[in-house]
Amino acid sequence: MKKALNDQVALEGLASSSYLAMASWCEVTGYKGAADYFYAQSDEERTHMIKVIHYLNDIGATATIPAIKAPSGTYKSLEGLVKTALKNEQTVTKAIHKMVELAHKEKDHSTYAFLEWFVNEQVQEETKFETVLQKFDLIGRDKIAINEIDKILAADAAAPEADPAV
Ligand code: FEO
């Protein structure tokens, strides 16, 4: 269980770093709203990573701070980038679900309860990116449409994030 939790620290760290790369790409490409959105997303992943680190330390299983491999920094389009983000989240969701199964099998009730927040968070995260992807179908993919989507992402970035536990 401790190994799985430490692996999760690395996975959340990788997510933070890959959203940082996405934010930076958006910034240089001229998608200011999307850049704000992904910078905020990167910060959020860092808080997830720290949540797991605190938990590991609290249960007396010292967390390992991982080396994080460099994410890809180039994307073909904003839509392609969001598709990659959704895929990242689906990978994280799978890892969380596997940990829930392991906690259940090992009768590790504390970790099982700890993971509940992450299970709910992943539902929100996947829905968030699916909703962004729907915008390309609804609004379009030409320059005016992308500018509109960029504005929506700017507004999202400025809005406070709902806590999944509430
Ligand atoms: Fe921390 Fe987006 O999963």
59: CATH: 1.20.1260.10
Position 166 pLDDT exceeds 60: no
What integer pLDDT is reported at residue 160 of this predicted model? 76
Total of domains in the chain? 1
How buried is 102 (Cβ within 10 angstroms: 0-12 exposed, 13-18 middle, 19+ buried)?
Answer: middle
Residue recorded with tokens 């927040």: 117
- 165: confidence class by pLDDT, cuts 50, 70, 90: low
- Confirm whether 164 is domain-assigned: no
What is the arithmetic mean of pLDDT over 35-53? 98
CA of 115 to the centre of ligand 1 (A): 12
Average model confidence (pLDDT) for the chain?
A: 95
Q: How far apart are CA 23 and CA 35, in angstroms?
A: 4
- Confirm whether 163 is domain-assigned: no
- 56: confidence class by pLDDT, cuts 50, 70, 90: very high
Answer whether 151's CB lies under 8 Å from 158's CB.
no
- Confirm whether 79 is domain-assigned: yes
- Confirm whether 165 is domain-assigned: no
Specify the range with the lowest mean pLDDT, choosing from 110-114, 140-144, 158-162.
158-162
- Confirm whether 17 is domain-assigned: yes
CA of 24 to the centre of ligand 1 (A): 19
Domain limits for position 151:
2-66+75-158
Task: Confirm or reject: Cβ of 15 under 6 Å from ligand 1.
Answer: yes
User: With the C-alpha atoms ordered 47, 14, 41, 124, is the resulting torsion angle positive or negative?
Assistant: negative
Tell which residue, 39, 37, 24, has the closest CA to residue 75: 24
Q: What share of the chain is helix, strand, coil (3-state, %, to 5)?
A: 80, 0, 20
Measured from the Cα of 89, ligand 1's closest atom is: 2
pLDDT in tens, 154-164: 999 998 776 66
What integer pLDDT is reported at residue 157 of this predicted model? 94
